[in-house]
Structures are given as C-alpha cells and as structure tokens.
Amino acid sequence: MSARVFEEVERERVRELSKAAFEEQATALRVSLVESQRALAKADFPVVVLFAGVDGGGKGETVNLLTEWLDPRRIVTHAYDRLTEEEGQRPEFWRYWRDLPPRGRLGLFLSSWYSAPLLDRAYGRIGPSALDRKLERIAAFERTLADDGALILKFWMHLDKKAQQQRLEALQKHPRDHWRISQWDWRNWHRYDHFNEAAEHIITRTSTAEAPWLVVDGRHARYRSLRVLGMVNRALEARLAGLPPPDAGFRARAPVASPAVIGATVREVKPLATIDQTKIVGRKAYDKSMARLRADLYWLAAQNLLHGLSVVLVFEGWDAGGKGGAIRRMVSALDARSYRVHQVSAPSDEERAHHYLWRFWRRMPQAGQIAVFDRSWYGRLLVERVESFATEAEWRRAYAEIRDFEEQIIGHGTLLMKFWLHIDKDEQERRFLARKENPYKSWKLTEEDWRNRAKWEAYEDAANDMIAGTSTREAPWTLVPGNNKRHARLEVLRTLCAALQSRLTQRAAE
Amino acid sequence: MSARVFEEVERERVRELSKAAFEEQATALRVSLVESQRALAKADFPVVVLFAGVDGGGKGETVNLLTEWLDPRRIVTHAYDRLTEEEGQRPEFWRYWRDLPPRGRLGLFLSSWYSAPLLDRAYGRIGPSALDRKLERIAAFERTLADDGALILKFWMHLDKKAQQQRLEALQKHPRDHWRISQWDWRNWHRYDHFNEAAEHIITRTSTAEAPWLVVDGRHARYRSLRVLGMVNRALEARLAGLPPPDAGFRARAPVASPAVIGATVREVKPLATIDQTKIVGRKAYDKSMARLRADLYWLAAQNLLHGLSVVLVFEGWDAGGKGGAIRRMVSALDARSYRVHQVSAPSDEERAHHYLWRFWRRMPQAGQIAVFDRSWYGRLLVERVESFATEAEWRRAYAEIRDFEEQIIGHGTLLMKFWLHIDKDEQERRFLARKENPYKSWKLTEEDWRNRAKWEAYEDAANDMIAGTSTREAPWTLVPGNNKRHARLEVLRTLCAALQSRLTQRAAE
C-alpha cells in the first residue's frame, strides 16, 4: 500500500545528478546559504529545521552537509533518545523547549517531537485517536513558535520499501558503516507499511502554512542534498526579505483552526467584581489557624516529596496586594530543599532571545519539588498588555498559548495552582501610604507603583480578561480577597493544603 | 574517642536560651539580616553558606529559619543525592558549579561537596590519602570561588554520641516526624566514632581563612539558631563594609599554600619561538591525506560515541590563524549529533554574574559528545590580560585555576586537547590584506583585528606564558604551525585521530 502523500514523489522518478552538475549548483547554493546565515545572525527570528523519514533516507547525511557548508558555530544539532532522568521529571516538551535555538540561530533536529508518535503508531502502541491528540499538541507547539517568528521547515526523507531494503543492505556490506545498521532497522523495515501509513497521516495532519512538510525523494544523495539545502536557502532568503514562504512542494492542507480568541464578549465577564472583601480574621484566630495549617503543609509537602509529585504555584495580584507576604508565610513552613521561589522581573538577555514562555519552561520543577512563581507568564496578559510591551496580536494569542502551556504542565501530573491576591483601590492607597511612612518598608514603594496605580482601570480590564480567559477546569484561578491580610494568607494556605491532600489521596488510590 | 576540634564545643556545655531571651535577640537579628540581604542584592559578590554535621544536629531547621527570615526570592537552597544521569556524565564538581549563586545572591547548601568524602571515609570505602586528595580538590574549589569574591561560610552542627541518640529517638517518637528517621540514620549512628574522626580531619584540613568552618553545638534549637544566623549576619555585614571577616570561632589552621605563581622566570620560556613554519603541503597530497583522515575521524568518533567517552577540544591562536577553517574541516567529518561548537565571545549577563569559569563548566559535554571551543577559558590569559579586562592578580591566579579545572575534566575520563594555531606576524598581514580584497571574506576583518595586531608583542608574551604555564603532562598544548593552512589542518586532524585512537585502544584494554 502506497501512501498518497508519497505518490507524487514516487511517480516523479527523479534521476541522480551528475557529479559535475552537482558541483556547479552546489557552489552557488553554498555561497548563498552562507550569506543567508550571516544575515540571519542579525535577524530577530530563530530557524528550526526538522528531519524525519525512513531510516537510510539520508537524514544524517543531509544534516552533516548543512553543517559542513554553514558556519558550525551558529548551528546546533539535536537528537533525542529515550527520556533521561531529568527529562522524565518534566512535561514531555520540556526537552524540546530547552533546546530551541535563540533568535538569529539555526537549530537542526535530527530526531524530534515526531519520533515517538510515529514509532508508537507504527508498532500499534497507540491508536488513531491517541495519535491525533499528540499531533494536535505538536501543531499547537509549532504554531506557538511560528507566531513568535520562528521559521520552521520540516523535511520528510522518503524511500519506498524496495529502495530502503537496498539502502540497508548496502550499508550493511560497507566495511565501515555496517555497525550503523542494527536489528532495529530491519525490524522497522518489516513494518514498512505501518510506518508509511502512520507517516502519511502525520504529514497530512501537521503540514500547516506556518510549518509545512516537504517530502523529498531520498534515493539519490546529490539530488536530495540540493533539494533540501536549496529549500532551506529559499525559505531563509524569503523570510529575510520579508516575503511569504516559497511553495513547499507539498500542498499544505487548510491550516488548523486557531482556538477562539478572547474578545469583546469576554470583556463583559468581570470576575474581580465578585470578590467578597468582608471577611476579617482576628489575631488570635489567625495564630491558631496558621499554626495548624503550617503543620499540615509541612507534612503534606513531605509526603509530596516522597511521592515525587511536582507542584507549580503562581502568584499574581495588585501591587501591595500581599503576594510577598503570602509566599513568605507559605514557604517558611516548607523544607528549604523542597521549593524554589522565582521572582519574575525583566528577562535576562538569553531569555530575551527566546520565546517568552522559554524562561518558564526552563524553570519547571523536578519530581517532588515546588516551584513558586512570584509573578509569572501572566505578565504577558497584564503588564505587557497594559504597557504595550506586547502587541495586541501577541497578547491576544497568549490566552491560548498559556492554556496550552498549563495543559502540558497538568498533563504531566504536576499540581498547578494560580492565586490572584486582590485588594481594592482604596486599600492599595492605604498600603502605599503606610509603606511610605514606615522606614522599614519604604524601599518597597517606588515611583513605578504610583504610575501603575494611575492605570488601575486598564489593569483591572486586563486582569478580568485574564481570569476569564485562563480559568480552566484543571487550572482555575483562586481569587483571594486580600484587604484583610490575615484572611488572605490563611486562604492561600488552606487552598493549597486542600489541593495537596486531595492529590495525595488520589495518588494513594491509584 | 572525642575529636579535638569538637572538644571546645563539648566542654562549653552551653545552655538553651529562654523563649523570651530568644525572641528579643531574634527580632534585632532578623531586621539586621534583612538589611544585609538587601544590601547584598546590589553587591558584586555571591554568598555560599554550607551546612554539614551530625544527623539530627539541626541543619535542616537552621536553613529553614534562615529562609523564613530572609527574602526567599533571593535565596536558593541546594541538596544533593546520588548523581543523576546528567550529572554522572560530567566531572564531579559540575553539579556544584551549576548551582553556584550569582553575585548578589545567597546559596544555601544543605548537603554539599563534603557529603561524599565524609561518608566514604566513615564507612572505610576510601583511605586517608584518598580522602586528602579529595580535600585538596575541595580546598582548591573553595579558594577559586573566594578569589573571585565569594563569601563562604561553613557550619558544622555537632552532637555528641549520646545527644544524637536522644535526638533520633525523639524524632522517631514524634507522630509527624518519625518517617524522617530511617535505618540509615541509625546505621550512621552506630559508626559515630568513625564519622567523628573523619569529620575532625575534614574540618582541620579545610578550615581556611577564606572558607572557615564554625563548629556549632547542635543540642539546643534556639541557641544554635542565633549562633549560626548571627554569624551569617556578622560575616555579611563585615564583607559589605569592606572589613575583614569576624573570627569564625574555630581557629583556622594556616592557609594551604597557594600553588606557585607563574612569574618572571617563566617569561623566559618562549614556546612560540620553537614552532617550525617550513612545512608545506601540496594540494594533491593534502586532498589524499585529508580524505583518509576524515574517514578515520568519522569512524573513531562513532566508536567514541559507542564507548561513551567525552571529548573537549580547545582552539586558540592568532586572529586569521586558521582556527575557523580547521574547526570546520574537522566537524564536517563528524556526525552532526555528536558535537557542539562553542564560539566564545562576550559572556551573557547570567554568565557575567558568575565566576568566569562558570560558563565553561555549564558547557561540559555529556558522555560520547565532543565539545569544540573556538576560543575558550584561555581568554583570561590572553585578551583579558592584554586588554586589562582582568586585574594582574586575577590573570596570575588563572594559571592554577585553569590547570585545576582541566585536571578535573581529565580526571573524569574526558579527552582534553588544546591547539594553538600559530602564524607569524607577516603571514597575518598577508591574510588581513587578502581578506580586505576578497568581497566574500571582507566581513571577517574588523577594526578590532588591526587594533589587536598593533599589540602583537603583548599578545606574544601572554601566549608564551600561557603555553608554558598550562602545558601539563595530561593536557599539553599542541602548537600547530599555521603559515601553511593545509599543513595546519592536516596536523589538527592527525593529532586528534591519534589521540582518539590511543584512548579507544586503552579503553578496549580495560
């Protein structure tokens, strides 16, 4: 059975180029590629080139040629094997995020996020609908990168069954290459039709306008080299010139519909208006509850460590809303080894050279650890939106990006909780003035706090949209009335303890 | 048997503080610590606080208190278990380097580089001389950090055998803490005398002026908390005020003698003068040798990958000396998955906030990988010295720091090779002018190249000193005559292939 997406390539019956013809074209192409790479170094987007396809189809050779022609100091090649210990403790895409090239650089992926789905499907370890779920995840990942400007090119090196057999046999006979062929290659070959069917489905489903597949006839080394490197060069040149991408040779299906954009209708929802600020906790009740909750938390966190669960806690809220105090009360009940507090302010220059979510991906906690974010990726929907650090298109698509990011965290089994510490405008003024008076706290108050306060309504709109747009069943926002600090601190601890307790009970039942 | 360093503490028989006395002192201390931490945030040094000592001696509790009192967003706590997969593939100290706090921050180490030597010695898994070698490594590590400005404080929490027994029993009876005590704690307790003896030796050997140990009586929680946190505060305040460190309470032995400083005598050695530039290779001979060497290298690197050896290659040399060309010829013969080229230029801001070796430590290759450094840590002894980016004291001690760094790389089993690509001054001029003429290469030539050239003699002195001062038996410099590019490229490949071959033969014989 021959898959439809490979028909065209198989029908074409391309011939190998003569050595002379190759040399001639290669020289011009190489000069052009080097020029493009130099221009890329100053450009503000990264390039992701991904290779997949049949074993023996020339993936490795093509990557080697590309790195030989280009400046190897500005390329990094990645390949992935089974998950390492550190990788296994994070959401599946953690290792891919970690290895994404910064702007101005090329990242080559010799095995990638497509490897496991292909193998799993070809060996029948997952069914068609599980495969589709994985492909949706991949499409969302690639869309996120492309939206941020990444140029993504995907090459599928194709061989028909007979050609693959010949190629494997030739390698096996080669005195220096025979060790490269293992029983696994032959095992895969025997399932050629299954691989082909899965591959067709994968290519069809994930060939999008922003991340198209190009299927390349892998039989002839010189032909396929020029085809792939030529396409890399054309795509790079087009992007550098600000032109639309060249036709990828394979007709992409209609792009997957983007998730609904949070728009005017959601603006009507005002979650912050529902917060009840009337609850007040007295000192004595507070001390008693606090002592009990801290003891509970200490015990629960220790159990958590034993069970290898990881926890991500997000704190957002108004300036002087009590984030710092709540975090401090919480972590002081924890074993210092078991948590990290990440204070999120301006990104470092390495972080700035990547997608805005990259710096949060790299901070995902290992098994048993608690990562506390004092401000977070929600900055995209708050300060970056209000202060116009992000364009409207950027923050509008961030709702879906963040939901997707959090879905992956949760999907890994991590407990994710999000707290909004809320105070009203009058209470903020009281606290600002109190800080100003207090010699011990006055450093906490800056000009910027007053400037932000002047934009209260804009921040309020942003926060309402954010909460409405990113409260999901698995990761709802906990809105914490914060006018009374004691109440707020207890509320945070209580919610956290309840969630940990329920998660541990669930885990014990599994 | 009671160890001498613990005698004083045991003789003192300190009493526990009353709750009221504790509260009074604690309040003042806490305010002072918070002030110090805020000042630290703007200072240009990191703080490393390390806790060791008897199980049950209050290490964890003290760290928790410290993080409770201070701003948890500017502290990170580390503890280490057995090596993870990623850690095991790098030199032993890789994980400690990775976790060092940046300038302005506090890093707390709850288990540390002392844990394994102590355990190994107490259980007799290593003898006294092996222990001493490990302690020398530790002393060198701490000296390197201290030389760079790090404030290092080490606390040993002491309990006598009886007190430890009581503490373990108390924990075991506690309804919520009993799970913290395992058979391991009791196993260690049964070897109390062995631990004590090893600890005494370790403390004596590694208590230096720049990284002193303070032995603390661990029996009474309030007393020991004030003692440790008080000392942290006093040391921080002294350093922030530019004063010498307070007396650590334990008399440090005379500091370990620093390794001999490379000085005037070495200046007489001029390795560069010995380079023979007369060898010329013709095009035909070059093509033939190159083809053979590239095939050899490909095969050897593949074997290397199979055997899990890691390789670090350093390239230094004059501008236009042919580093880039040599690297490109070499890596183009390699599988793109098996190497990374690190082009070393200005450090990122995260890197700048650490010791200058930190950014190289983080790039140490995993098993089977080849890391190629196009310029390297030797910048400290070349450009940083000549351009006065490093002070004289800084670059002078870099000889020993780098020898030590490389010793660790080699000690891990990594193959380390260092190439100096040499051209003479006339040849450089010819190449500069040729680049100027060539529209394809003119971008490679900058004003800076001409400026550096004007300082040829200063760079020559620096390079001569560098080669003389860092050529060791295990990591000699390979001086490559570079006036003839073909000769140089073959020489690099030939040397690398021979070294890989010999290493693989050796590995096969093991």
Condensed to tens digits (0 to 9), the pLDDT of residues A374-405 reads: 999 999 999 999 999 999 999 999 999 999 99
pLDDT recorded at residue B417: 97
The nearest CA of chain B is from the CA of A238 a distance in Å of 21
User: Which residues from A are below 8 Å from B74, CB to CB?
Assistant: 343
Counting one residue from chain A and one from chain B, the pairs whose CB atoms sit within 8 A come to 112
SS3 A500: helix
SS3 B117: helix
Least confident segment among A69-73, A483-487, B53-57: A69-73
- Mean pLDDT computed over A304-321: 92
User: Which residues from A are below 8 Å from B327, CB to CB?
Assistant: 72-73
Compare CB distances from B350 to A328, A340, A350 and report the shortest one's residue: A350
pLDDT recorded at residue A306: 78
The strands making up B75-78's β-sheet, listed across from edge to edge, are B75-78, B106-109, B47-53, B151-158, B213-217
Check if CATH label 3.40.50.300 holds for domain B4-240. yes
CA distance linking residue A56 with residue A339, whole number of Å: 46
A179 or B58: whose pLDDT is higher?
B58
pLDDT recorded at residue B320: 93
Percent over 90 (pLDDT), chain B: 68
CA distance linking residue B72 with residue A348, whole number of Å: 20
User: Which residues from A are below 8 Å from B306, CB to CB?
Assistant: 179
User: Which residues from B are below 8 Å from A182, CB to CB?
Assistant: none
Angle at B197 between CA B195 and CA B200, to 5 degrees: 105
Task: Express each pLDDT in B464-497 by its tens digit.
Answer: 999 999 999 889 999 999 999 999 999 999 999 9
Is residue A106 within 8 Å of A40, Cβ to Cβ? yes
The nearest CA of chain B is from the CA of A309 a distance in Å of 17
The nearest CA of chain B is from the CA of A266 a distance in Å of 34
Tokens of A140: 């969302």
CA distance linking residue A465 with residue A381, whole number of Å: 8
pLDDT recorded at residue A424: 94
pLDDT recorded at residue A332: 86
Q: Do A73 and B374 touch (CB under 8 A)?
A: yes
pLDDT at B2 over 60: no
Quick one: pLDDT band at residue A174, thresholds 50, 70, 90?
Answer: confident
Architecture of domain B264-509: 3-Layer(aba) Sandwich (3.40)
Residue type present at position B91: P
pLDDT recorded at residue A345: 86
CA distance linking residue B90 with residue A201, whole number of Å: 41
pLDDT recorded at residue A255: 40
Closest-CA residue to B89 (of B324, B319, B308):
B308
The nearest CA of chain B is from the CA of A127 a distance in Å of 31
pLDDT recorded at residue B440: 64
pTM of this structure: 0.81
Task: Express each pLDDT in A195-215 by its tens digit.
Answer: 999 999 999 999 988 899 999
Q: Is A221 exposed, middle or buried (0-12, 13-18, 19+ CB in 10 A)?
A: middle
Nearest residue on chain A to B444, alpha-carbon basis? A38
Q: Which of A335, A363, A366, A438 to mutate to test the interface with B (most CBs of B within 10 A)?
A: A335
pLDDT recorded at residue B248: 55
Closest-CA residue to B313 (of B288, B349, B289, B344):
B344
Q: Do A110 and B31 touch (CB under 8 A)?
A: no
CA distance linking residue B452 with residue B337, whole number of Å: 35
Q: Do B176 and A299 touch (CB under 8 A)?
A: yes
SS3 A199: helix
Q: Do B337 and A78 touch (CB under 8 A)?
A: yes
The nearest CA of chain B is from the CA of A120 a distance in Å of 23
The nearest CA of chain B is from the CA of A169 a distance in Å of 19
- Mean pLDDT computed over A337-354: 89
Residue B71: HSE in the Cβ half-sphere, 13 Å Cα cutoff? 20
Write phi, then psi, for B214 (nearest 5 degrees). Answer: -120, 120
pLDDT recorded at residue B265: 42
Q: What is the mean pLDDT of chain A?
A: 89
pLDDT recorded at residue B195: 95
Task: Express each pLDDT in A126-166 by its tens digit.
Answer: 999 999 999 999 999 999 999 999 999 999 999 999 999 99
User: Do A4-240 and A264-509 fold alike per CATH?
Assistant: yes
Q: Do A440 and B68 touch (CB under 8 A)?
A: no
Least confident segment among A49-58, B83-92, B455-464: B83-92
pLDDT at A9 over 60: yes
User: Which residues from A are below 8 Å from B75, CB to CB?
Assistant: 341
pLDDT recorded at residue B442: 72
The nearest CA of chain B is from the CA of A422 a distance in Å of 21
pLDDT at B254 over 80: no
The nearest CA of chain A is from the CA of B350 a distance in Å of 7
Percent over 70 (pLDDT), chain A: 94
Q: Do B72 and A302 touch (CB under 8 A)?
A: no
Q: Do B31 and A179 touch (CB under 8 A)?
A: no
Quick one: pLDDT band at residue B268, thresholds 50, 70, 90?
Answer: low
Q: Is B276 exposed, middle or buried (0-12, 13-18, 19+ CB in 10 A)?
A: exposed
Compare CB distances from A336 to B108, B331, B350 and report the shortest one's residue: B108
According to DSSP, the residues that pair with A415 across neighbouring strands are A311
pLDDT at B262 over 50: no
Compare CB distances from B77 to A295, A327, A337 and report the shortest one's residue: A337
pLDDT recorded at residue A256: 41
Q: What is the dihedral of CA A260, A263, A269, A273, to 10 degrees?
A: 130
Nearest residue on chain A to B332, alpha-carbon basis? A68
Q: Do A337 and B73 touch (CB under 8 A)?
A: no
Q: Do B73 and A108 touch (CB under 8 A)?
A: no
Q: Which of B73, B177, B359 to mutate to test the interface with A (most CBs of A within 10 A)?
A: B73
User: Which residues from A are below 8 Å from B335, CB to CB?
Assistant: 60, 64
Q: Do B67 and A348 touch (CB under 8 A)?
A: no
Q: What is the mean pLDDT of chain B?
A: 89
Q: How far is CA A204 from CA A118, A250, A251, in A?
A: 13, 10, 9
User: Which residues from B are below 8 Å from A374, CB to CB?
Assistant: 73
Q: What is the DSSP letter of A256?
A: P
Angle at B138 between CA B132 and CA B141, to 5 degrees: 145
User: Which residues from B are below 8 Å from A443, CB to CB?
Assistant: 38
The nearest CA of chain B is from the CA of A18 a distance in Å of 21
Nearest residue on chain A to B69, alpha-carbon basis? A332
SS3 B455: coil
pLDDT at A177 over 80: no
Residue type present at position B501: Q
pLDDT at A333 over 70: yes
Compare CB distances from A79 to B76, B337, B349 and report the shortest one's residue: B337
Nearest residue on chain B to A177, alpha-carbon basis? B299
Compare CB distances from B348 to A180, A343, A349 and report the shortest one's residue: A349
Percent over 70 (pLDDT), chain B: 95
Tokens of A164: 């693959």
Write phi, then psi, for A505 (nearest 5 degrees). Answer: -60, -45
H/E stretch holding A312: strand A311-317
Q: Where are the domains of chain A?
A: 4-240, 264-509
